Structure 1
Amino acid sequence: MSARRSTAATLLTLAVATAVLTGCTERKSDADSADAVRVNASDDACELSKTSFPGGHVQLAVHNKGSKTTEVYVYAPGDRIVTERENIGPGTKVTINAEIKAGAYEVACKPGMVGDGIRQKITVTGDGAPVKSDPRLDAAVAAYRKYAQEQADQTIPVVEQFAAAVKAGELDQAKSLFAPSRVGWERTEPVAESFGDIDPKTDAREDGLEQGQQWTGWHRLEKSLWADNRIGDDEKKLADQLVADLKDWQKRVGSAEITPTSMANGAKELLDEVATNKVTGEEDRYSHTDLSDFAGNVEGAKKAYELLKPVAAEKDAELAKTLDGEFAAIEALLAKYGQADGSYASYDQVGEPERKAFSDAVNALAEPLSKLAAAVVVK
């Protein structure tokens, strides 16, 4: 879960995030593009070089001038995420490529990666050049939308089984279904997060709650199952609510705004999820099923990359070659911890040297993956 982070989690993950960030600085030519919207983020400001600009392909050239790691979001009304970039370290410059339609939006900088952020209203006009089309990218978007829908459709029956076990008071059965019920979500999490309201209800951790927010979803149930080792009436109600919230997600997937650059940025976001939540053991802190989530994030990122690869490889063959190799390396590392039943070893049994190996693998993949969006922009 990336849309809302706690200060405690942020502090615990800065070491890993900083390692990944070293690979996220974009080429100087990208950041210096005359058409780019410059975003100067600091600990107490979010300054844009312009607040009105044409729609179509947009570059946000972000410079974090603050002392805290930050995030930058573009929100449509209702806090629907149009594009985002997490884990932007102090002094770091990144370029975010996105396709943005005409309309009213907000850009948010989130120093410390918490809260609603420092926001600036922007207007995207309709007089920009239309986004050029490549039939291969159109096909990639259609295939990814189908993939995202399939993942949601396949999630619901497993979540219903998980909820049924909770409601029946079957503690061990519920525990065994917790990780499998999350796989489809983890593979396509950026799509789910783009809706704004579903992720906080289903995937929030206790220390990531906003003031006044009721804690619901997977991790609330996870704590009851593992830390409290009990199932009460509240948990049974929460199980029903989790199913209802995820069915809402399932219905909305078809309306998600998906573009080639959002697919590429989403793949990068999934690696950020691994870096800040999974490698550190923050995500599934009670069940220690982090490696299952880790694998789901990697699988989802790879799917987006493979669909975009025909265009990316044509424009940057070396980038595609590097990504092929780094995906293979991280998959091989995960395979070492796979179990015969398809599950993964408990993450509390993974020592610090092995966690460091995971961190290094994520770092090696995240750096080239951050360049994928630029490689699929049609000019």
Structure 2
Amino acid sequence: MRSVRFSVVTAAAAAAALTAVTGCAEKSDAKGGDAVAIKATDSACEVSAKEFPAGKVVFDVENKGSKVTEVYVLFPDDRIVTERENIGPGTKATITAEIKAGDYTVACKPGMKGDGIRTAVKATGKGAASAKRSPELDKAVAEYRKWVQEQADETLPKAKAFADAVKAGDLEGAKKLYAESRIGWERTEPVAESFGDIDPKVDVREDGLEDGQDPAKDWTGWHKLEKALWADKKIGDNEKKLADQLMTDLTDWQKRVGKAEITPTSMANGAKELLDEVASGKVTGEEERYSHTDLVDFKANVEGAQKAYELLKPVAAKNDPKLSAELDKQFAAMATLLDKYRADKTTYVFESYDKVGKDQRKELSDAVSALGEPLSHLAAAVAK
């Protein structure tokens, strides 16, 4: 549920970013092993090092503003290298990533809107490009890449069944197929989001559109069809066109996903991102506000995070056995809790989320926090 889309920075945004960073600390580069500090406020994104050695890079983020923020490290074409969402006011976060030599942009997004306040940075030297990974981590990356492709391949026929029902004008049939068509996407969403342009086409919510975009013509994807099916309760010619467009965009995802930049730390950070997705959209009921199928997405997000963890576990358990033990415990607790909301553990038929009460939502939220905290340390464990 990427709430916004990245685009080329406008002249005004670039000027604002330049103004915002003029007050940055004078330190311009970091030595090997030093963390790069990022101080985010409502009007600035201060990066302590404009140059740092390529390889394992640790970003220490502090949100000193009054709004929830997100921090991204972006390739020049706006593909995502690494990110951390939902950093609350007065809180800190640490992001560990493998970064090759080259030019990048750090973007802070107060309020989680727009292109963000941007700062150009550079990774120098050989670093990650020349570092030899352990065979265990190479295997984890290869297996994860294979699994992500399988999820995309398995999603296409399910999405086609949903799209065909829409095009046939079968309102109830489309409703029944909607949630299942999204499972593979939700399991692997951080990989899709890394491209920058696919997620806004297929999974954006109406309130996630950029300022100036018209929901009537600029909003596409699953959630616009969700609104038509449950809120508007009608399928017209426009919805049928949207179904075709959804298949076009998902086919693009299927073809490109195998070429995604994947590293052990991106797998670990992606697992944390999936828990952030749960915290920001599923627990609150915002993601599937019309269909109330949030628990299906919730389960798929958790499964995606657990898959990444299980593949990285041989190294994580060796480097940080206490962390691995805690993650095992919390993933098991989460599975048990979610099972309370489905009658058959072999299917994805969950209780409608509008029937889940305040106390139950609090219990789910607490479980997400209990899992998300140790999961935030997984990248550091596999990068040791």
TM-score by length of 1: 0.90
Residue matched to 1:107: 106
Please show how residues 220-299 of structure 1 align to structure 2 within 5 Å: 220-299=224-303
* Matched letter for residue 60 of structure 2: A
The higher relative CO (CA closer than 8 Å, separation ≥ 6) is in: 1
Aligned 8 A contact 1:278 1:291 in 2: yes
| Identity among equivalent pairs (%) | 68
Residue matched to 2:188: 188
Aligned 8 A contact 1:151 1:184 in 2: yes
Structure 1 window deviating more from structure 2 (205-214 vs 305-314): it is: 205-214
1:371 matched to 2:374? no
User: How has the CA–CA distance of structure 1 residues 35 and 132 changed in structure 2, closer, same or farther, with 3 Å as cutoff?
Assistant: farther
C-alpha separation between the residues in 1 aligned to 2:219 and 2:300? 24
Aligned 8 A contact 1:3 1:199 in 2: no
RMSD (Å) for aligned C-alpha atoms: 1.5
1:289-345 per-position Cα deviation (integer Å, ceiling 9, x unaligned): 000000000000000000000010111111111111110111111111114453111
Tell me which of 299, 304, 307 is aligned to 1:303.
307
Paired positions, count: 352
Give 1:127 deviation, angstroms.
Answer: 4.0
User: How has the CA–CA distance of structure 1 residues 63 and 323 changed in structure 2, closer, same or farther, with 3 Å as cutoff?
Assistant: same
* Matched letter for residue 39 of structure 1: I
1:358 matched to 2:376? no
Give 1:179 deviation, angstroms.
Answer: 0.2
C-alpha separation between the residues in 2 aligned to 1:219 and 1:354? 25
Aligned 8 A contact 1:3 1:193 in 2: no
Aligned 8 A contact 1:99 1:131 in 2: no
Find the residue that maps to 1:181 and give its secondary structure.
helix
* Matched letter for residue 230 of structure 1: K
1:335-378 per-position Cα deviation (integer Å, ceiling 9, x unaligned): 11114453111000111111111001001101110110100004
C-alpha separation between the residues in 2 aligned to 1:282 and 1:3? 11
Residue matched to 1:347: 353
Aligned 8 A contact 2:60 2:93 in 1: yes
Residue matched to 1:58: 57
Give 1:3 deviation, angstroms.
Answer: 4.8
Structure 2 unaligned runs (5+)?
6-30
Find the residue that maps to 1:106 and give its secondary structure.
strand
* Matched letter for residue 324 of structure 2: A
Aligned 8 A contact 1:87 1:272 in 2: yes
C-alpha separation between the residues in 2 aligned to 1:3 and 1:234? 23
Residue matched to 2:176: 176
Aligned 8 A contact 2:55 2:126 in 1: no
Residue matched to 2:90: 91
Structure 1 window deviating more from structure 2 (148-157 vs 109-118): it is: 109-118
Residue matched to 1:157: 157
C-alpha separation between the residues in 2 aligned to 1:92 and 1:187? 27
Find the residue that maps to 2:89 and give its secondary structure.
coil
C-alpha separation between the residues in 2 aligned to 1:364 and 1:131? 34
C-alpha separation between the residues in 2 aligned to 1:342 and 1:91? 38
Find the residue that maps to 1:207 and give its secondary structure.
helix
User: How has the CA–CA distance of structure 1 residues 3 and 196 changed in structure 2, closer, same or farther, with 3 Å as cutoff?
Assistant: farther
C-alpha separation between the residues in 2 aligned to 1:150 and 1:112? 35
Aligned 8 A contact 2:32 2:52 in 1: no
Find the residue that maps to 2:60 and give its secondary structure.
strand
Following TM superposition, where does structure 1 have runs of at least 4 consecutive aligned residues deviating by more than 4 angstroms? none
* Matched letter for residue 80 of structure 1: R
Find the residue that maps to 2:348 and give its secondary structure.
coil
Give 1:94 deviation, angstroms.
Answer: 1.6
* Matched letter for residue 210 of structure 1: E
Residue matched to 2:36: 37
1:67-110 per-position Cα deviation (integer Å, ceiling 9, x unaligned): 21111001112210010001112222221100111221110001
Residue matched to 2:2: 2
* Matched letter for residue 367 of structure 2: A
C-alpha separation between the residues in 2 aligned to 1:273 and 1:131? 32
* Matched letter for residue 302 of structure 1: Q
C-alpha separation between the residues in 1 aligned to 2:183 and 2:96? 28
Give 1:33 deviation, angstroms.
Answer: 9.1
TM-score by length of 2: 0.89
